[in-house]
C-alpha cells in the first residue's frame, strides 16, 4: 500500500508534468530472490535516482510498479529488470496486461541486469551472461539509456491433458524456449527445490551446482528414454518422423541451458541460418 500511495501522490504528478520533453526516466525493478547482491544494488540505484523509481519486487508486483509509466505525459520510460529470465518473463507478462487494457501508449522499453542462473535471454540481447558486480550502477544506467531497441517474439504455449479432458488448458508465455524431456525435468526439480528452500538459492555458483546435480542424476536415470515412442510431432500440419531421442526443444532465442548455442550444432557440419 505504501508503494501505491507514493505512485499516485499529487506531488509526483506535478513533478512528471514539469519534466522536459526529452526526459526518459528509468524504472528499476529488482527481484530480491535473484542473488545476494540485490540489496546493495537497490541502495546504489536509490542514491542515483528518486527512490520511487527503484522497486523491490519482493514487496510489490511488476504490474503495480509499471503503473508509474502511465503517469508520465507522452514520455517513453525504460525499465531495467534486475533478475533472471523468470523475472524478465514476469515483467513482460505485466506489460502485456497493460497492452490488453488499452495502455499500450505507455509501454516501456525493457533492459536486463542478469542476476539469474541461466540468463539466456539477457545473453541473446547483449546484456551479458551474468552480472558479477564489476560495473557501477551509474554505468549500468547509462547503458540502459544508450541501448538500441529491438523487437522480441513472444509466444503462447497451451498445455492440455488430452483432447477429451474436462480440465481447462493451461496457457503459458514463452520468451526463450520450451522443452519436453530431461532438461525440462531438471528445471522442474530445481524449481520445486527452490520453492521449498528459497534461502539456499541466493548464489549463482551454488545454483549451477544444483543444476549440475539434477542434470547428472536425470541422465543416469534416463526417465525420458524412448520419448519418440510416446509423443507425436506436427509442424505446419505435417507429421514429423522422429529419430530416437529423449527430448525436444523449441527455441525462440539463440542461447539455451545457460549459454549453449544449440543451433550451431556439433561437429563439422554447419547449420543453416536460423529463421
The domain spans of the chain are 2-146, 155-264
Confidence tier at 144 by pLDDT (50, 70, 90): very high
The model's confidence at residue 61, banded by pLDDT at 50, 70 and 90, is very high
Q: What is the pLDDT of residue 18?
A: 45
CA distances 226 to 223, 235, 242, Å, are: 9, 20, 11
Vertex 79: Cα angle to 56 and 106 (nearest 5): 115
pLDDT at 237 over 70: yes
**What is the predicted pLDDT for the residue at 139?**
95
Residue 36 has pLDDT above 70, yes or no: yes
Instruction: Say whether 169 sits in a helix, a strand or coil.
Output: coil
d(CA 89, CA 107): 15
65 vs 100, residue with greater confidence: 65
Specify whether the CB–CB gap between 250 and 177 falls below 8 A.
Answer: yes
Ordered alpha helix ranges (H), 8-82: 10-17, 38-48, 62-70
- As a whole number, the mean pLDDT across the chain is 80
Residue 16 has pLDDT above 50, yes or no: no
**Least reliable range by pLDDT among 35-44, 94-103, 232-241:** 94-103
For the residues 49-67, what does the mean pLDDT come to?
A: 91
Residue holding cell 514429423?
240
For residue 155, give the nearest of 113, 92, 105, 104 by alpha carbon.
92
Pick the CATH number of 2-146 from 1.10.10.10, 3.30.70.20, 3.40.50.10330, 1.10.630.10: 3.40.50.10330
Quote the CA–CA distance of 83 and 57 in Å, as a whole number.
10
Mean pLDDT of 203-231: 72
The long-range contacts involving 167-174, CB below 8 angstroms and separated by at least 24 positions, are 173/89, 173/92, 173/93, 173/96, 174/250, 174/252
Q: Is 81 helix (H, G, I), strand (E, B) or coil?
A: strand
Q: Write out the three cell numbers for 53.
A: 523509481
Dihedral of the alpha carbons of 81, 87, 89, 90, in degrees to the nearest 10 = -100
- Over residues 93-115, mean pLDDT: 82
**Which residues does residue 56 pair with via DSSP β-bridges, in sequence order?**
30
Instruction: Please say if the pLDDT value at position 8 is more than 50.
Output: no
pLDDT (0 to 100) of residue 33: 82
- CA atoms within 13 A of residue 253's CA, in its CB half-sphere: 26
Q: In 10 A of CB 222, how many CB atoms?
A: 10
Q: Is the pLDDT of residue 196 over 60?
A: yes
**Sign of the torsion formed by the C-alpha atoms of 198, 204, 209 and 214:** positive
pTM of the model: 0.78
SS (H, E, C) 192-214: HHHHHCHHHCCCHHHHHHHHHHH
159 vs 163: CA distance, rounded Å: 11
Exposure on the CB side of residue 157, measured as CA atoms within 13 A: 15
Amino acid at each position: 500500500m505504501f508503494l501505491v500511495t507514493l505512485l499516485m501522490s499529487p506531488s509526483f504528478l506535478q513533478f512528471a508534468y514539469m519534466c522536459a520533453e526529452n526526459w526518459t526516466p528509468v524504472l528499476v525493478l529488482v527481484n530480491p530472490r535473484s542473488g545476494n547482491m540485490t540489496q546493495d544494488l537497490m541502495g546504489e540505484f536509490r542514491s542515483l535516482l528518486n527512490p520511487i523509481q527503484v522497486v523491490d519486487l519482493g514487496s510489490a508486483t511488476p504490474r503495480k510498479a509499471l503503473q508509474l509509466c502511465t503517469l508520465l505525459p507522452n514520455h517513453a520510460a525504460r525499465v531495467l529488470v534486475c533478475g533472471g529470465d523468470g523475472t524478465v518473463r514476469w515483467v513482460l507478462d505485466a506489460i502485456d496486461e497493460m497492452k490488453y487494457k488499452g495502455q499500450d501508449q505507455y509501454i516501456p522499453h525493457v533492459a536486463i541486469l542478469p542476476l539469474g542462473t541461466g540468463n539466456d535471454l539477457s545473453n541473446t540481447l547483449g546484456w551479458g551472461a551474468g552480472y558479477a558486480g564489476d560495473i557501477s550502477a551509474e554505468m549500468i544506467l547509462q547503458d540502459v539509456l544508450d541501448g538500441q531497441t529491438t523487437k522480441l517474439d513472444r509466444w503462447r504455449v497451451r498445455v492440455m491433458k488430452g483432447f477429451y479432458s474436462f480440465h481447462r488448458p493451461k496457457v503459458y508465455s514463452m520468451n526463450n524456449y520450451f522443452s519436453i524431456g530431461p532438461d525440462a525435468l531438471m528445471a522442474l526439480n530445481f524449481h520445486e527445490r527452490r520453492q521449498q528452500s528459497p534461502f539456499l538459492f541466493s548464489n549463482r555458483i551454488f545454483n549451477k551446482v544444483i543444476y549440475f546435480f539434477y542434470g547428472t542424476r536425470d541422465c543416469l536415470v534416463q526417465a525420458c528414454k524412448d520419448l519418440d515412442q510416446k509423443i507425436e510431432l506436427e509442424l505446419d500440419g505435417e507429421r514429423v518422423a522422429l529419430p530416437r531421442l529423449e527430448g525436444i526443444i523449441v527455441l525462440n532465442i539463440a542461447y539455451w541451458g545457460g549459454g549453449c548455442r544449440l543451433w550451431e550444432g556439433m561437429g563439422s557440419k554447419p547449420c543453416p541460418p536460423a529463421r
